[in-house]
Amino acid sequence: MGPRRPRRKDEIILLTTLQEVLKIAEDTGTAIPAFNIDNLEGPEALVEAGEAENCPLILTVGQGAINAGQLWYLADIVKRLASQTKIPLVLHLDHGVSYEQTVLCLRAGFTSVMYDGSHHPFEENVRESQAVVRSAHAVGVSVECELGAISGVEDGISHKNVNLVDLQEVEQFIAVVDCDALAVGIGNAHGMYQGTPNLDFDRLAACRALGTPPLVLHGGSGTPDDMIRKAIQLGIRKVNVATELRMAFMEGLEATVGQRDFYGMYRQAKTNMYELARKKIRLFQGK
């Protein structure tokens, strides 16, 4: 991972939107990786992996990073990386908790925001999602929404009231909310699975048949490759991964931190994350 240099003006693909990269996914029947970022070294390694596979990336800022005060720093890191790379990068808010948080991200230059109203009453999810879409689309930013609460623990946020997405709600939701992507709960969970996931592929196919926008699979960590491939065949166009990548990074750190080499300390962590990200990218891209 050699030193990076700013690219010439004509070389730069600045930050792009979720809608633009998901169009590529729809046209090619693949899925775009959405990788959570939490520091400087992670996105550096992830962008190297995207470049090696020549694949757009959605770099995702989640509630854990936001609660740790990293929102503005991570936004600046991603913008800097976008000025130095040839692959399209999306700066995306993950599981936005309020309309106000999505507006803050619009101000910070995000090109995609998720509002996750799946744990609220359906009517409230519709109302808030409509407000987020109106603000974001007014400034050319894409929106991901969610129906069917996803279980597990993500960034310290755990949800008990899990439910599989209700097809009638999907039909009602997409009729009145003009979102660019829709995350659906089909039995997927955040964090590493205890045992084999039980994904409801029939329900996924039925969602797609309703004419939804591109669908999103959350909880990518620990999902068997054959299930990922099947989900993509059935219409998943964005796959989120966080836990597995963080674990790979931390295992690298554990292996080197005792060497007291301050600048070499992250080398193994970045290599671990780079290699795992390339594996995930090839899987999502059908390579």
The interface with Zn ion within residues 223-252 (CB under 5 A) comprises 240
Among residue numbers 44 through 63, which ones bind ligand G3H (CB under 6 A)? 62
Would you say how long the chain is, in residues?
287
Q: Is residue 197 near ligand G3H by the rule CB under 6 A?
A: no
Considering the complex, state which of residue 60 and residue 85 has its C-beta at the smaller distance from Zn ion. Answer: 60
User: What are the residues facing 147 on neighbouring strands?
Assistant: 184
- β-pairing, 181-184 with 142-147? parallel
Handedness of CA 194, 196, 201, 203 (dihedral sign): negative
Q: Which does 221 bind (CB under 5 to 8 A by kind): ligand G3H, Zn ion, none?
A: ligand G3H
Q: How far is Cα 169 from Cα 147, in angstroms, rounded to an integer?
A: 8
Exactly one of 92, 218, 238, 270 binds ligand G3H (CB under 6 A); which one? 218
Q: Which of 231, 272, 267, 281 is nearest to 249 (CA)?
A: 272
- Catalytic entry in 38, 94, 116, 180: 94
Q: Does residue 119 interact with Zn ion by CB under 5 A?
A: no
Q: Kindly state the tokens that stand for 81.
A: 């990386």
Taking contact as CB under 5 A, which single stretch among the options 19-27, 45-53, 211-219, 267-275 is the one that binds Zn ion?
Answer: 211-219
To ligand G3H, the closest distance from the beta carbon of 133 in angstroms equals 20
Q: How far lies 244's CA from each of 32, 38, 61, 114, 220, in Å?
A: 17, 13, 16, 21, 8
Tell me the closest approach of the beta carbon of residue 36 to ligand G3H, in angstroms.
6
* Torsion sign over Cα 170, 105, 60, 256: negative
Residue 94 among the catalytic residues:
yes
Which of 19, 112, 243, 272 binds ligand G3H (CB under 6 A)? It is 243
| 116 part of the interface to ligand G3H, by CB under 6 A | no
Contact present, 208 and 230 (Cβ < 8 Å): no
Contacts with ligand G3H, residue ranges (CB under 6 A):
36, 62, 94-95, 154, 190-191, 218-221, 240-244
Q: Where in the sequence numbering do the catalytic residues fall?
A: 94
